[in-house]
A and B are shown apart, each in its own frame.
Chain A
Amino acid sequence: MTLLELEDVTASYGPVQVLEGVSLSVPEGGAFGILGANGAGKTTTLRAISATVRTGGRIVFDGKDIRGLRPDQVAALGIAHVPEGRGTFGDLTVRDNLRVGAYLRKDRKGVDQDIDYCLDLFPNLQERITSNASALSGGEQQMLAVGRAIMSKPRLMLLDEASLGLAPSTAKNVYDAIRRLRTESGIAMLVVEQNANLALNLVDGATVLETGRSVLTGTSAELKGMDEIRRAYLGG
């Protein structure tokens, strides 16, 4: 069953139109990638879903058009956005960051269990649990950002450039953990990534954006090693 469906979605920052018509769908429990060069509109597609940019077209989540909601209302439906640049709360401790993620939940026990789950998934955070987020390394902050999203018990996670600015080995660790999360939790994922290899090892299928439009959509197996992918990234 389709969980999220984007139909001909447009988006603009003021007078500048960034998305010219993006369509994609994410099945329940599935993972879908958005690939493309810088400025192609990947991040804006995620922002369109989480209502932080003005949009046109149709964005249907769980059978309901969610355009026009506020970002916090979108989050309350079960969509957790892990933004580009991580967006952790620098002056809050790691534990408090996780607790903010669980703000809408009332099940105290479940929250404690999920904090333990996050620490098991990202053992680095265990040692830093009382540190302020601003004192963490880039990789640890990325883990914390994903952890905060887990804490809201989402049905869909929007992951924006989780590898950005990380050493290759750290990026691989982060993606290994996200893959484990996917199999263990069944959370559906929409993944924006400039590192196509990392993304295609996580998702089932992906679409390639060029100047705000989907130019190619396929399964991960089809897309791996395709010329268009290389062209989209290298501009060749």
Chain B
Amino acid sequence: MGTFIQLVVDGLSTGSVYAAIALAIVLVHQATGLINFAQGGMAVLAAYFAWWLTNQGLPLIVAILLSIVFSFALGAVVERWLMRRFERGDPDTAVVATIGLLTLITGIAGWLWTYNNQQFPSLFPLDTVSFLGVSVSIRSIGTTAVIVVAMILLQALFVGTKLGLALRAVAINPQSAAFSGLPVGRLLMVGWGLAAVLGAVAGALVAPQLTLTPGMLDNALVYALAAVILGGLTSPVGVVVAAWIIGVLENLAAVYVPFIGYDLKVAVPFILLFVVLIVRPQGLFGRKTVVRV
């Protein structure tokens, strides 16, 4: 039983990292209708920035906060000077541009900081706490908690503020939004910035465990995409739940299904993904989009 709970908590923790990246993808998709494959890459860049700052002698928490600010700017800049050029064109072209961006960022990170694994300090102590007689790692609890708080803040922004209302309006109908005087371009930059911030938080939390490399979040990105499909592109809550399911299942399957083990656990989300795509293509929580001809 102790192992089971430990596995579930660890699963929730890795699932939270997938969730943050998945939410970032959903955020950008809702605002602009495209999938940003560079979301993980941008988060890695933020993590490197934080790591570099700690090497300059800054305390970890300050470095992470600064990297979050840096990410917001990075997201906004990518929207303004790269993605906007593809705004009116074929969405497929724009998606390919994000894949190009991912390659570019990975290359830049490798060039600046080499492809060697770098040690990233952990925000949480590596101890465990006893909870109902079961020992659970503080890092797992902390990671989950931080991401949950980030999501609550994001939800509050979208539902409770004028800026959030404007972001939602632009995502639903940019033309009508402009007719009401909303600065659509600037709001899209804010949307991309916020998505990048979520990615940066995820990157900083997962970097100590995975160690920092340019391709650190490539796997997480794939899992995040699985969560996006599983939860449904239109449902932020669904995506988070899906990411947790993936994180937990992956962990449980590795230990309890001998046939799968640690080597095949990578496949678990994808088996789930195929089933969902066949049975319920709009995702578990998503809505069917009606395409008007």
Instruction: Pick the contact of A92: B169, B178, B182 (CB < 8 A).
Output: B169
Given A72-B182, A72-B183, A89-B169, A100:B175 Cβ within 8 A: no
Also in contact, A83 and B172, with CB within 8 A (given A100-B182, A103-B166): no
| Interchain CA distance A72-B173 in the complex, whole Å | 13
CB–CB B180/A100 < 8 A: yes
Residues on A with beta carbons closer than 8 Å to the beta carbon of B151:
none
Decide: A92 and B172 in contact? CB cutoff 8 A.
Answer: yes
- What is the CB-to-nearest-CB distance from A76 to chain B, in angstroms, rounded to a whole number? 5
Contact A87 B175 (CB under 8 A): yes
Nearest Cβ in chain B — how far from A163, in angstroms? Answer: 19
Contacts of A149 in B (CB 8 A): 179
Complex-state Cα separation, A91 to B168, whole angstroms: 9
B178 touches A72 (CB 8 A): yes
Per-residue interface assignment for chain A, residues 20 to 45, with 1 indicating a CB less than 8 Å from any chain B CB and 0 otherwise? 00000000000000000000000000
Query: In the bound complex, what is the Cα–Cα distance between A100 and B173 (angstroms)?
Result: 11
Q: Is the CB of A148 within 8 A of B180?
A: yes
Nearest-neighbor residue (CB-CB) of A96 within chain B:
B165
Question: A74-100: contact bitstring with B at CB < 8 Å (1 yes, 0 no)?
Answer: 011000111100011111100010011
Q: Are B181 and A89 in contact (CB under 8 A)?
A: no
How far is A100 from B180 in the complex, measured between Cα atoms in Å? Answer: 7
| Alpha-carbon gap, A89 to B184, bound state (A) | 14
Which residues of chain A have C-beta atoms less than 8 A from B178's C-beta? Answer: 52, 70-72, 75
Chain B nearest CB from A103 CB (Å) reads: 5
Q: When the two chains form their complex, are residues B179 and A75 in contact, meaning their CB atoms are under 8 A apart?
A: yes
Chain B residues 119-173 with CB under 8 Å of chain A are 162, 165-166, 168-169, 172-173
Q: Are A100 and B183 in contact (CB under 8 A)?
A: no
A55 at the interface (CB under 8 A from B): no
Once the chains are docked, how many angstroms separate the CA of A174 from the CA of B222? 51
Binding site for B on A (CB under 8 A): 50, 52, 70-72, 75-76, 80-83, 87-92, 96, 99-101, 103-104, 148-149, 151-152
List 19 additional A-B contacts (Cβ < 8 Å) besides A72-B182, A75-B180. A50-B179, A71-B184, A72-B178, A72-B184, A75-B178, A81-B179, A87-B173, A87-B176, A90-B172, A91-B172, A92-B168, A92-B169, A100-B165, A100-B166, A100-B180, A100-B182, A103-B162, A103-B180, A151-B180
